[in-house]
Structure 1
Amino acid sequence: MTTEVLLAEPRGFCAGVDRAIDIVEHALAKFGRPIYVRHEIVHNTYVVNDLKAKGAIFIEELSEVPPGATLIFSAHGVSLAVQQEAERRGFRIFDATCPLVSKVHVELAKLHKEGYEFLMIGHKGHPEVEGTMGQLDSGIHLVEDVADVAKVQPSQTEKLAVVTQTTLSVDDAAEIVAAVIARFPQVRRPKQQDICYATQNRQDAVKLLSPQVDVVIVVGSPTSSNSNRLSELANRLGTPAYMVDSAAELQPHWLDKAQKVGLTAGASAPDVLVQEVIARLRELGMVSVRTLDGIQEHIKFPLPKGLKLD
């Protein structure tokens, strides 16, 4: 019988996700529907469907966007080729790339001019990885795990730098970086790690939460990298963890032997979904909810010029 739900702190939306959604909503308010968005603005089914209902059209290919339309790049960032094609096609463009992803792009450009090659730690096919690797024509090599480090063949090792996807497992990334340093001792690392504050904070919160509960529920969509990392982390720490896109996916048998249930949400999952899961847990007999102590996040990123409402 579940008696208590412990809420991780922090959980849910980060500043980059807040900003990306605000950009779409401001564009709709200012320019009217439809607004075109390249790729899911953030990786969350509820958010995407909500914005579709308000007049956003999500596309993958720029050829799907009519001339003169307003186009928004998703929070994950895009390659230079996509940027240039969008400009060539004459769209009104707003870039919702998370500023912490943009910071990685700026660092790449700067070091590339200095003659550096790069190892990028990340997941193949993830839009952030495609956008970051697409900042350069060549000289950037994807490394997904420690085994890849042994196989990668940069053309030179005197000027080699490492960058990472911002939503990785902090522990996995540290292990891969250690392998990179062992093989390439002169490799240049970022002054501050590329993994973003929100990813780090949510993983730290799960490390605190997991030992105190019998099962962990992570609210997040299957496409969300940072949400997947949260459920993996809880499982690795020995607490069974399940990811749900909505309260409807919650399976009562997960809770059969659980007295305490841990609940968290990925950085792209809105609080309304967390509240719906809590309501469902109440239906299943949960008695109380307690929020654990954790870091309070106060970061806010400004909107792009031209989107402020009059």
Structure 2
Amino acid sequence: MRNIKLVLFLFMATNQMYAQAQLFNPTDLKITWEIKERNYKKGVQTLSVVTLQNTGPVAIPRKGWNIRFNDGNSHNAGNDKNIVIDRVNGDLLSLYGGKDFKKLEPGDSVKSEILSYIRNITDHPKGFYLVFDEDPAKAIPVFVTIKNSLNLDDLEKEVATKIYQQNSTITAVTASEIPPVFPTPVSYKKTTGSFGLSGAVKIVNDPAFAAEARYLSAELGKVLTASPAMSLTGNTNIILLQKKALASSEGYELQVTPGKILISASSNAGIFYGIQSLKSMLPPGAWATVQQFIVLPCVE
């Protein structure tokens, strides 16, 4: 008899803790997201109205729960604090009761205006799930009714028209017109001659760029039979990492002449990006197997 009472007590205690953790039945919370007006107040955002309704027998408290969903750009339109939307991380948002949300009694509902950027159906909020504060590791999927009073056909046509107009400005270029440097620099000019890249080349660097020099040596060692050595001096057959004041802290200048390769920047980031552009100049076949000698065209 004692065992039966103990089991019954544990069962009731477990149910009570579960009920406390859940606060209310998730299926009792009806959520409606109604998309009302594009270009709200002659702007670029879309106005929506979010409604929370309690269809269950017990009141839904303001605290202790929140709705997570993916959107990335929704936010409150006005000053009402019935429903609040905050960013959790990246495109993950959180929806919960604000300071004006006292308690949602059975049959009652609250609503708030929301602004977001909805261009077509792919921008609709999605992936809704409920999380209770007492059990944050458990995600409970919830159904949300999305009502769209806008004409989706017109929206799709508008988006397609804009994309077509953007693409119509693109002109085809020949392979010879494409700069061998990536990303495409602000200015580019191909000059005469070439530079012979080999393990005999020395990397001469400003002391501030020692780490970048080691990185460049290791990267070139992947395509050459020997990694270029680092040196504090040298005038020819070198790759020079030089400190130079530039307008952009992450900008750089890359110059290839028959005698040397010069990468100039004001910061470590600029030198690093310059090295990436130098690597992009290597012919694709250079990465297939190590070589003794690689020819690079002269540019500035």
TM bracket (short chain): under 0.3
TM-score, reference length from structure 1: 0.23
TM-score, reference length from structure 2: 0.24
Give the number of the structure whose residues are more often strand, by fraction: 2
* Structure with higher RCO (Cα < 8 A, 6+ apart): 1
Give the number of the structure whose residues are more often helix, by fraction: 1
